[in-house]
Amino acid sequence: MIQLLALALLLGGCAAPLSQTPPAGMAATVPAPEIRVGDAWTYRVQDGFTRLPRGEQRHEVTAVGADRIQVAGAVERGDGVQVYDREWNWLRRPATNLQTFEYSPAYQAFAFPLAPGKRWRARLMATDPADGRRFPVWIDGTVLGWERVRVPAGEFDTLKVERNVYFEYYVSAIRGRSEIREFEWYAPAVKQSVRREASSRYLSISGAWRDPGFMYVKGGGRDKDGGPRYVLDDWLVYELVSHSIR
């Protein structure tokens, strides 16, 4: 059962090849959106393993400056304040299954203008504002193609984006590198993603992998009996319920 769950996590978001041609009436490339104060999006959150509900999240733009956007809204392990650049790249936000970090340069979630086949690589540093420690982050992003998706808010033409992220956050004698996989279905019509999947595994170096609550990932770690092992963290799925944009 554990191996099946691990396989489901690793394959999350995979499907047949997506269209490389935009839908009728859509531009070949998608520019960065024009974000305004008051724009808001509400998401339903589900556990990716069980599909059990994890509540709703509402995100509202509270300030827009020359080079940044501030958003109020709860995010797992966050404090209710998120900061982005003008292209939805993260300046201050919780990492997947981790706490809030500040990023320099920005955590490149997107690379506008978006078009099928576009790829990017980002190398940056994340700073934990609680203690000032800094950690390297690597991001490999790809625009997979166009896909029409249905979510509670309706049907949308989207560009599906995949990110593979390596986050060198560690806690001495407890945990090491996180390997993160993120999918976003970005809909130009709502200036934001209408669906998002985020999952990760991390290197456990404390023996915590022996706890039945952790899921061992075959092939992770060094030693069969006692060495560090990769264990799965949360897999969360976000779907747009409603939005209000200006």
Q: What is the pLDDT of residues 36-66, one digit of tens each?
A: 999 999 999 999 999 999 999 999 999 999 9
13 vs 146: which has the higher pLDDT: 146
How does residue 184 score in pLDDT terms, banded at 50, 70 and 90?
A: very high
Instruction: Give the mean model confidence (pLDDT) for residues 156-168.
Output: 98
Q: Mind listing the pLDDT tens digit for each residue in 16-41?
A: 789 999 999 999 999 999 999 999 99
Four-residue CA torsion sign, 143, 234, 166, 222: negative
What does the block give as tokens for 120? 């990017």
pLDDT attached to residue 48: 97
For 8: left if phi > 0, alpha if psi spans -120 to 50, otherwise beta; the answer is: alpha
Q: What is the pLDDT of residue 230?
A: 92
- For the stretch 92-103, pLDDT in tens is 999 999 999 999
Total domains in the chain come to: 1
Higher per-residue confidence, 3 vs 46: 46
How far the first Cα of the chain sits from its last, in Å, is 47
Segment among 142-156, 157-171, 183-197, 206-220 with least mean pLDDT: 206-220
Residue 4 pLDDT: 35
pLDDT at 15: 60
120, 111 contact by CB (below 8 A)? yes
Question: How many whole angstroms from its chain centre is CA 200?
Answer: 10
Per-position DSSP letters for the chain, written without gaps between them: -HHHHHHHHHHTT--SPPBSSPPTT--SSBPPP---TT-EEEEEEEETTT--EEEEEEEEEEEE-SS-EEEE---TT--SEEEE-TTS-EEEEEPTTS-EEEEEEEE-S--SSB-TT-EEEEEEEEE-TTT--EEEEEEEEEEEEEEEEEETTEEEEEEEEEEEEEE---BTTTEEEEEEEEEEEEEGGGTEEEEEEEEEEEEE-SSGGGSTTS-B-TT-SS-SSSS-EEEEEEEEEEEEEEEE--
Residue 215, pLDDT above cutoff 90: no
Mean pLDDT, range 122-148, rounded to an integer:
97
Mean pLDDT of the chain: 89
Structure-derived torsion over alpha carbons of residues 158, 28, 182, 58, reported in degrees to the nearest 10? -50
CATH code for position 60? 2.40.360
- How far apart are the C-alpha atoms of 25 and 33, rounded to whole Å? 17
Range of weakest confidence among 60-69, 71-80, 206-215, 237-246: 206-215
The domain of 32 spans 2-244
